[in-house]
């Protein structure tokens, strides 16, 4: 039954796609000289096909001669007999290279489940010479590769588009020469941005903290991350699908990084300096690759940083496209831009105040204030936005009860501006009448590597629940306001994966291999999660990601951390 369900789903997905990537499975047989790559996204097809990094690697690999790249995902109805690719329905264990694109730490268990399903040994050290080589890249392993170190032969640090062609070409040559796995990995370790964990031996103190990292001679002492020159690559979605999260949309990247440097945010620190695509490049990609789609998704960390965003949206709207955007910085929101977006079909505006008091805005270094938030609510109301979504973070360093109350007060003030007299509004001539509403996304703070808050602790589940309940109680009489509650257990697990070392990876191995719960798995692997996420770290401690270079030096991050601490003391509550 499972096999039949997957066959039906596979046919439906492939038939529905508009693709600029030719499927090569008919051209290259299993016995040919083609180098076969299985490219996996450890989450649903819907999420994976909305990820530009995944789609870009898929396109680049299939543009190489004698390389066949096929996709696999995590399906609700997994195929019988192991994890299989979408294009040819072959088991991933039959490929030369199995590669994962991993943007989210909480997908780590899915990675192991997909490998286990195909009976690929989870530990790199246990895999035989005939097993496929395993590699991963993406935001999550770039921030901290150590959780995945026991499982992967190599890991990309930084932007893999800049290294993937060089890497695959070397793999082809070395495998053709029938080199041993160790010889292959030793030569691959010379590729800039490629981290080969087996050549870095980690020792620990009795409390589980890292004591020392012993590095084999001949490999980099510090792994330098890769960074693309945007003028050398186009970043768009070559496959358009009605079953992707952004349905039937061409996604186009507007830029990478962020100029603002908020102290909690990894995106603003690992992608320095901020780089933007030129207006002409963005419009050219839309013209060349839309494949008849009328919906364009503009993607970037903060797309409102782009100086030509208004012009880009005006031209796209004039040409008949509907425009979707990722989050807009609220103090850069103009009435003209929002009118263009609404006229092109935008119904939901997403803004991220993050916190609710001047004190906390200064602590996290987000250079906005309450007036900017309220002004954006006014602009949204005047533009006839139907749905306002607001992102907040709780549990940040130096947060007090008054700061939680500040979030509640800010929500009330936004409500008074955005909601009155708007039970029914007309969004545009082509959109039906809709009820105006506000959605609140309240997210626990999770410390991220390579940020000034990497030394900070998380709140406990009890503390987070108390703060969530305080907000919920404060807004319960606001009709039309929906509070999204995130899983607190999930957030704490993400924190462990974000900050953990190889021992945490071995705990994850125990969970998947022996079907244990996390408490049992941590105990078996000798992992105590408390020091990882609930106890502050010494500024001079050896962190798991110390092997990976950071665009911001440790001295800069430390200075930012200490400035946040100073501000928290000097500002009145």
**What 3 state SS string does 85-106 have?**
CCCCCCEHHHCCEEEEECCCHH
Task: Report CA-CA distances (Å) from 226 to 409, 511, 551.
Answer: 44, 33, 11
Mean pLDDT score of the chain: 91
Distance CA 353, CA 392 (A): 6
What is the DSSP track for 314-362?
A: HHHHHTT-EEEESPPPGGG--HHHHHHHHHTT--EEEEEEE-SSHHHHH
How many angstroms separate the CA atoms of 566 and 573, rounded? Answer: 13
Measured CA to CA, the distance from residue 454 to residue 35 in angstroms comes to 40
The residue assigned the tokens 């607001």 is 390
pLDDT tens digits for range 296-326: 999 998 888 899 999 999 999 999 999 998 7
Q: pLDDT per residue over 391-410, tens digit each?
A: 999 999 999 999 999 999 99
User: What confidence score (pLDDT) does residue 130 get?
Assistant: 87
pLDDT over threshold 80, residue 327: no
Of 337, 368, 330, 382, nearest to 351 by C-alpha is 330
**pLDDT the model gives residue 429:** 38
Over residues 230-247, mean pLDDT: 94
What confidence score (pLDDT) does residue 265 get?
A: 92
Q: How confident is the model over 116-132, as a mean pLDDT?
A: 94
What's the rounded Cα separation, in Å, for the pair 309 and 329? Answer: 12
Query: Could you give the CA distance from residue 54 to residue 48 in angstroms, rounded to a whole number?
Result: 7
Find tokens 């609140």 and name the residue: 440
Tell me what pLDDT residue 470 has.
Answer: 97
- Using only C-alpha atoms, what is the Rg of the chain? 24
410 contacts: CB under 8 Å, gap ≥ 6 = 353, 356, 370, 373
Q: String of b and e for 356-384 (b: at least 16 CB within 10 Å)? A: bbebbbbbbbbebebebbbebbebbbebb
Mean pLDDT check: name the lowest of 181-190, 209-218, 361-370.
209-218
The domains found in the chain, sorted by start residue, are: 2-215 (3.40.50.280), 232-489 (3.80.30.20), 498-570 (no CATH)
Q: How far apart, in whole angstroms, are the C-alpha atoms of residue 439 and residue 485?
A: 11
Contact 458, 492 (CB under 8 A): yes
Which residue's structure tokens are 């989870």?
A: 122
| Whole-number Å distance between alpha carbons of 428 and 385 | 10
Burial 72-81 (b: 16+ CB within 10 A, else e): bbbbeebbee
> How confident is the model over 162-183, as pLDDT tens digits?
899 999 999 999 998 988 999 9
Contacts of 540 (CB under 8 A, 6+ apart): none
- The answer on pLDDT for 12 being more than 90 is yes
- pLDDT at res. 1: 37
Q: How far is CA 375 from CA 328, 331, 345, 353, 422, in A?
A: 14, 8, 22, 12, 17
> What are the contacts of 105-110 at 24+ separation with CB within 8 A?
105/140, 105/147, 105/494, 105/497, 105/498, 106/490, 106/493, 106/494, 106/497, 107/42, 107/43, 107/140, 108/42, 108/140, 108/147, 108/148, 108/497, 108/508, 109/508, 109/511, 109/512, 110/42, 110/43, 110/74
Q: How far apart are CA 437 and CA 427, in angstroms?
A: 13
**Phi then psi dihedrals of residue 323, to 5 deg:** -120, 130
Give the pLDDT score at 247.
93
Judge contact between 355 and 361, C-beta under 8 A. Answer: yes
Strand partners, 133: 97
> d(Cα 314, Cα 322) in Å, to the nearest integer?
11
Q: Give the per-residue pLDDT at 370.
A: 96
**φ, ψ for residue 298 (rounded to 5)?**
-90, 125
Average pLDDT over residues 523-529: 94
Give the residue among 337, 344, 293, 308 at the shortest CA–CA distance from 323: 344
């Amino acid at each position: 039954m499972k096999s039949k369900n997957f066959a039906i789903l596979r046919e439906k997905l492939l038939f529905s796609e508009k693709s600029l990537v030719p499927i090569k499975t008919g051209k290259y047989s299993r016995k040919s000289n083609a180098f076969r790559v299985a490219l996996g996204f450890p989450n649903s097809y819907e999420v994976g096909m909305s990820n530009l990094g995944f789609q870009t690697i898929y396109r680049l690999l299939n543009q190489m001669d004698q390389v066949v790249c096929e996709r696999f995902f995590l399906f609700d109805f997994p195929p019988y007999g192991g994890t299989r690719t979408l294009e040819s329905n072959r088991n991933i264990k039959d490929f030369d290279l199995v590669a994962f694109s991993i943007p989210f730490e909480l997908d780590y268990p899915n990675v192991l489940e997909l490998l286990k399903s195909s009976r690929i040994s989870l530990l790199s050290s246990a895999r035989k010479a005939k097993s496929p080589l395993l590699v991963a890249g993406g935001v999550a392993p770039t921030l901290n590769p150590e959780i995945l170190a026991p499982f992967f032969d190599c890991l990309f640090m930084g932007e893999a588009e800049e290294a993937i062609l060089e890497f695959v070409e070397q793999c082809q040559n070395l495998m053709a020469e029938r080199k041993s796995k160790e010889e292959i990995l030793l030569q691959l370790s010379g590729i800039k941005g490629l981290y080969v964990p087996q050549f870095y031996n980690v020792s620990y103190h009795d409390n589980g903290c890292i004591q020392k990292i012993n590095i084999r001679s001949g490999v980099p002492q510090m792994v330098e991350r890769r960074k693309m020159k945007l003028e050398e690559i186009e970043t768009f979605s070559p496959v358009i699908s009605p079953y992707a999260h952004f349905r039937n949309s061409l996604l186009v990247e507007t830029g990478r990084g962020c100029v603002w440097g908020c102290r909690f945010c990894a995106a603003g620190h690992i992608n320095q300096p901020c780089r933007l695509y030129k207006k002409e490049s963005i419009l050219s990609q839309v013209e060349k690759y839309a494949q008849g789609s009328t919906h364009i998704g503009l993607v970037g960390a903060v797309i409102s940083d782009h100086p030509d965003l208004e012009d880009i949206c005006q031209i796209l709207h004039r040409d008949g496209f509907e425009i979707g955007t990722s989050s807009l910085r609220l103090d850069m929101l103009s009435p003209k831009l929002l009118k263009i977006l609404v006229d092109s079909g935008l119904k939901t505006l997403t803004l991220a105040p993050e916190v609710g008091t001047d004190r906390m805005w200064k602590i996290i270094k987000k250079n906005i204030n309450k007036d900017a938030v309220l002004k954006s609510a006014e602009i949204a109301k005047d533009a006839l936005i139907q749905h306002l979504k607001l992102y907040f973070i709780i549990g940040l360093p130096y947060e007090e009860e008054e700061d939680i109350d500040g979030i509640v007060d800010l929500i009330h003030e936004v409500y008074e501006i955005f909601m009155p007299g708007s039970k029914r509004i007309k969004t545009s001539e082509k959109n039906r009448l809709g009820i105006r509403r506000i959605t609140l996304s309240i997210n626990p703070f999770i410390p991220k590597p390579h940020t000034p808050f990497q030394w900070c602790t998380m709140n406990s589940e009890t503390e987070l629940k108390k703060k969530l309940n305080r907000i919920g109680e404060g807004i319960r009489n606001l009709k039309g306001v929906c509070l999204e509650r995130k899983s607190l257990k999930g957030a704490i697990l993400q924190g462990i994966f974000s900050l953990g070392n190889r021992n945490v990876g071995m705990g994850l191995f125990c969970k998947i291999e022996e079907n244990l719960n996390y408490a049992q798995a941590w105990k078996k692997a000798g992992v105590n999660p408390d020091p990882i996420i609930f106890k502050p770290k010494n500024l001079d401690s050896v962190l798991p990601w110390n092997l990976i270079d950071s665009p911001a030096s440790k001295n800069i991050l430390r200075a930012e951390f200490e400035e946040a601490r100073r501000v928290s003391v000097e500002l009145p509550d």
